Amino acid sequence: MKINKAWHLAHPMPKNPTMDERIAWHIEHLKNCACRELTPKLKAEFRKRKISMKDLRRNASYERIELT
């Protein structure tokens, strides 16, 4: 899997992130990089917040994103 290193350097995960911060980070991450999968807990959290994986994938600048 490819890592978008430039994006990661510019967007470090906050220390002791709240769930909102994690969600926001992962949304941006999904659009820019495909180096890691969402954990089941985060996927559940996305569902709870009605954040559509399909939309994220469609808008992703990264084409090789694989979400299940």
Q: How far is CA 5 from CA 1, 2, 9, 31, 44, in A?
A: 12, 9, 6, 14, 27
Residue 30, class by beta-carbon neighbours within 10 Å (0-12 exposed, 13-18 middle, 19+ buried)? buried
Regarding 30 and contact with Zn ion (CB under 5 A), the answer is no
Closer of 35 and 67 to Zn ion (Cβ): 35
Binding residues for Zn ion, total number by CB under 5 A: 2
Q: Which of 26, 30, 33, 46 binds Zn ion (CB under 5 A)?
A: 33
Regarding 56 and contact with Zn ion (CB under 5 A), the answer is no
Summarize as ranges the residues that interact with Zn ion (CB under 5 A): 33, 35
